[in-house]
Amino acid sequence: MSTLSNQNFGLVIAFLLPGFVALLGVSFFSPAVASWITVPRQDAPAVAGFMYVTLASLAAGVTVSAVRWAIIDHLHHATGIGVLAASVKNLIIGRSKRRGTGGINE
């Protein structure tokens, strides 16, 4: 079983936070979504509600990221802003070389 590490923590945050902000915005217009985010009537924390909001936030975050890619990135390319020539693998290898370590899977 995989644990949450430094390598995938950034990806979770990249989708979870924008997704939760999108859910929070939708909650003003949808009573169903507002009921997911608010505290239950029994004032008891519910694990199921937390997981439901987390999964909905991740799904909304992936959707927000796809819309950003489809609109903003294509708009940038149309106006002449080039593609960043970097990859996550190069960033991780560069970071490990600065620290003097041997590689990614230590």
Chain segment 4-33, per-residue pLDDT in tens: 666 677 777 888 888 999 999 998 999 888
- Which residue type occupies 20? F
Residue 28 has a pLDDT of 92
Residue 106 has a pLDDT of 46
> How confident is the model over 83-95, as a mean pLDDT?
61
Cα 28 from Cα 25, distance rounded (Å): 6
61 burial via Cβ count (<10 Å: 0-12, 13-18, 19+): buried
Is the full-model pTM beyond 0.85? no
Domain ranges of the chain: 6-99
Higher pLDDT, 45 or 69: 69
94 burial via Cβ count (<10 Å: 0-12, 13-18, 19+): exposed
